[in-house]
Amino acid sequence: MSETYAALVSEEERLLSEYLRKIEHCVGLLTPAEVWWRPNARCNSVGNLLLHLSGNLSQWVLAGLGGAEYERRRREEFAAAEGGDAAALVARLHDVVTACQAVAARLSDDDLTRVHTIQGITRTGAGVLLHAVEHMAYHTGQIVFVAKQLAGERAQIEFYPHLR
């Protein structure tokens, strides 16, 4: 892998790990009921977002780049109103992120420049990795926001204490 692509993959691995740590911390602050809380029927719960991140990363990186067999049930990710406990959902996401990092680490320059069509969207392999990072960043922010809202005073969320 070229130096440029190696740097891209290294950043992808670092950012997915950072987002995962933030998610793990925030979900750990929530009660089981709060994990599945929705402000209204048009919104997603933290539980839905955990299912969705696992599904999206599996489809885009594990199947799309890594060639793994995966049949996604996207509607079910958002329809769930309850389901696995928070620890199980986070553990599943952890496993998916770890597997995505392993796929990214073994990609060649050809893999990263090859065009892939996933969910009807055409991207290069590098674009798929950027999508995965952007997508996880977006939903990590939502999870952090909900945790701060619901945990209130018990929310000890400070990811950048050195900036105080």
Provide the CATH topology of domain 3-158. Answer: Four Helix Bundle (Hemerythrin (Met), subunit A) (1.20.120)
> Per-domain residue ranges for the chain?
3-158
The whole-model pTM stands at 0.92
**pLDDT, tens digit, 9 for 90 and up, residues 99-137:** 999 999 999 999 999 999 999 999 999 999 999 999 999
For the residues of the chain, what is the DSSP string, one character each?
--HHHHHHHHHHHHHHHHHHHHHHHHHHTS-HHHHT--SSTTS--HHHHHHHHHHHHIIIIIITTT-------HHHHHH-SS-S-HHHHHHHHHHHHHHHHHHHHT--HHHHHSEEEETTEEEEHHHHHHHHHHHHHHHHHHHHHHHHHHHGGG----S-GGG-
**pLDDT, tens digit, 9 for 90 and up, residues 78-96:** 778 877 789 999 999 999 9
